[in-house]
Amino acid sequence: MGGRPPDTTDREILSIFADTDEPVLSTTEVANTLSYSQGGTYKRLQQLGEEGLLRSKMIGDSKAWWLTDDGQHFLEDTDADFATDLKN
């Protein structure tokens, strides 16, 4: 089965963006970090984009993603323990 396991939180995915020195990340870069399929990762990133936590733009044949201010506030307003509690 492709995509992310159900125990991966939004916070974990958004943290990838917050923890990098890169201004944008491709779907492939995020998928490689998570060790998930590109298709499953794309769907997850798209959902986070629809929620306003990520933004994206096509650059050539690839989509670039970055954390929005709302995404940064989401990370600041939730801590790792809170996000873990939501999974249980």
Q: How many domains does the chain have?
A: 1
Task: Tally Cβ neighbours within 10 Å of residue 41.
Answer: 25
What is the predicted pLDDT for the residue at 43? 93
Residue 71: domain span: 10-79
Ordered per-residue pLDDT tens for the chain, 88 residues: 455 455 678 999 999 999 999 999 999 999 999 988 899 999 999 999 999 999 999 999 989 999 999 999 999 998 765 544 444 4
What is the predicted pLDDT for the residue at 78? 83
- Residue 74: what are its φ and ψ, rounded to 5°? -60, -45
Contact call for residues 14 and 48 (beta carbons, < 8 A): yes
- The residue among 81, 80, 54, 56 whose CA lies nearest residue 68 is 54
What is the predicted pLDDT for the residue at 87? 45
The CATH number of the domain holding residue 70 is 1.10.10.10
User: What burial letters (b/e) apply to 45-58, b meaning 16+ CB within 10 Å?
Assistant: beebbeeebbbbee
Q: How far apart are the first and last CA of the chain?
A: 22
85 occurs within a structural domain:
no
What is the predicted pLDDT for the residue at 52? 98
50 occurs within a structural domain:
yes
